[in-house]
A = this chain, B = another copy of it.
Amino acid sequence: MKIHNFNAGPSVLPKEVVRKSAQSVINFNDTGLSLLEISHRSQDFLEIIEKTTCLVKRIMNLNDEYAILFLQGGATLQFSMVPYNLMHKKAAYLDTGFWAYNAIKEAKKLGKVKILFSGRKNNYTYISKNYHIPYDMDYFHCTSNNTIVGTQMKIFPKTSVPIVCDMSSDIFSRKLDFDQFSLIYASAQKNVSSAGMTIVILKKDILGKLKKNIPSYMDYKIHIQNNSILNTPNVFSIYNSMLTLEWIENQGGLSILEKKNQHKAKLLYDEIDQNNLFENKIHKENRSNMNVSFFLKNKNLEKKFNKMWKKENIVGLDGHRYLGGYRASIYNALSNESVQFLIEIMKEFERKFS
């Protein structure tokens, strides 16, 4: 039974990652132990952490000025950890979606936030490029991809202020100059692994400038000193990440994946634009290549469309509960075939109900 999984996260993973993970749950590396039963301080696991760290750096083309951390608590904990570690007095934020807005709410608890642009009144369908980052900000925070509405930042500003970016829903989906960022974080359950782990990639020299007495778990410096095992990390998700990153390298790396992702997104947006029954509300140059949102122009057809795609083993196509409509999340591991299949359904629906 082939399932077409358009879930927004947790979401589809490469088949071989799933297969190897299941195998490791039974018998990890022929140790006779389950991956779930090995010590996080065993040589076996230290090698996993080391290998995963190297893979992240190699795939993102980052040098040793960067540290890679595998933490818990999701992007939500990062919304607080970032200002705890980097906010002396004030920081600049872009309000480009629900999660960006939440990041702002958390930062406001710890200092002053200057919002440089807010897409809130336009329902986040548009991201401005016309904003100015004051030089005296402690950092500039942005969210590269809005998972819910389906927008994506295509370019990032040039600034002397450290750039912090939440890449939860598009990390490892495209080639960027990653060294333009001082800190990148991403909850891993979309493009990387199973849920319950957050990757943090940060330039070590941005730390140590504040003298706050913060909780140890919130302190990046302490996590770096402890190589992500201050306490027991999410062993299983880190292992999955290693497998996914190996898969990414085998696919040819980020430039190849970017092309594939662009191609999948173009096919789907083209169909939405051509199809009489559907529409996408996003400003064209901000359309996300990861989360494609669309709506039926005639809401009365919803039940019929839902019946049609659900019958065809498509899952996860419902829009976010705040938004309604539809959303196809087309992450790295979502095949071209699944996109084509969805397009065929949409075409058939148009033929029947147009």
Per-residue B-contact encoding for A213-254, CB less than 8 Å = 1, 0 else: 111111000000000001111111100100000000000000
A48 CB-CB contact with B under 8 Å? no
Interface of A is mostly: loop
Partner of A37, one of B5, B41, B230, B232: B5
Q: In the complex, identify which listed stretch (A191-199, A201-209, A288-296) lies at the interface while the others stay far away.
A: A191-199
Give every chain B residue within 8 A of A18 (Cβ-Cβ). 25-26, 34, 36-37
A255 contacts which chain B residues (CB < 8 A)? none
Interface residues of A in 28-69 (CB under 8 A from B): 31-34, 36-41
Q: Within A290-304, which residues are at the interface with B (CB < 8 Å)?
A: none
Contact of A321 among B41, B80, B195 (CB under 8 A): B41
Given A25-B18, A232-B74, A232-B187, CB of A195 within 8 Å of CB of B10: no
Which B residue's beta carbon lies closest to that of A76? B231
Contacts of A7 in B (CB 8 A): 37-39
Chain B residues with Cβ below 8 Å from A2 are: 32
**Which among B5, B106, B217 is the interface contact of A77 at CB below 8 angstroms?**
B217
Which of B74, B105, B216, B240 is the one whose CB lies under 8 Å from A231? B74
Nearest CB of chain B from residue A111's CB, rounded to whole Å: 12
A233 proximity list for chain B (CB < 8 A)? 195-196
Note all chain B residues with C-beta closer than 8 A to A76: 216-217, 230-231
What is the CA–CA distance of A18 and B36 in the complex, to the nearest angstrom? Answer: 8
Q: A11 CB to closest chain B CB, in angstroms? A: 6
- A72, CB-defined interface residue at 8 Å: yes
Interface size on A, residues (CB 8 A): 66
A196 touches B13 (CB 8 A): no
- Inter-chain contacts of A3 with B (CB < 8 A): 31-33
Set of chain B residues within 8 Å of A34, measured between Cβ atoms:
13, 18, 22
A103-119 interface bits toward B, Cβ cutoff 8 Å, 1 = contact, 0 = none: 00110010000000000
Assess whether B235 is in contact with A315, with CB atoms less than 8 Å apart.
Answer: no
Q: Does A162 count as interface, using CB distance less than 8 angstroms? A: no
A189 within 8 A of B: yes
Whether A9 is near chain B, meaning CB under 8 Å from some CB there, is: yes
Contact B80 A215, beta carbon cutoff 8 Å:
yes
**Minimum C-beta distance from A319 to chain B (A):** 12
In A66-119, the 8 Å CB interface with B consists of 72-77, 79-80, 102, 105-106, 109
In chain A, residues 169-214, which have Cβ atoms closer than 8 Å to a Cβ of chain B?
187, 189, 193-197, 213-214
**Which residue of B is nearest A99, CB measured?**
B231
A32→B197 CA distance, assembly (Å) = 24
Q: Bound state CA distance, A16 and B313, in angstroms? A: 30
Is A275 in the interface zone, CB < 8 Å from B? no
User: 8 new A-B pairs (CB below 8 Å) besides A11-B37, A73-B217, A109-B214?
Assistant: A5-B33, A7-B38, A22-B22, A72-B77, A77-B215, A79-B216, A80-B216, A234-B237
Binding site for B on A (CB under 8 A): 1-3, 5, 7-13, 18-19, 21-23, 25-26, 31-34, 36-41, 72-77, 79-80, 102, 105-106, 109, 187, 189, 193-197, 213-218, 230-237, 240, 313, 315-316, 321
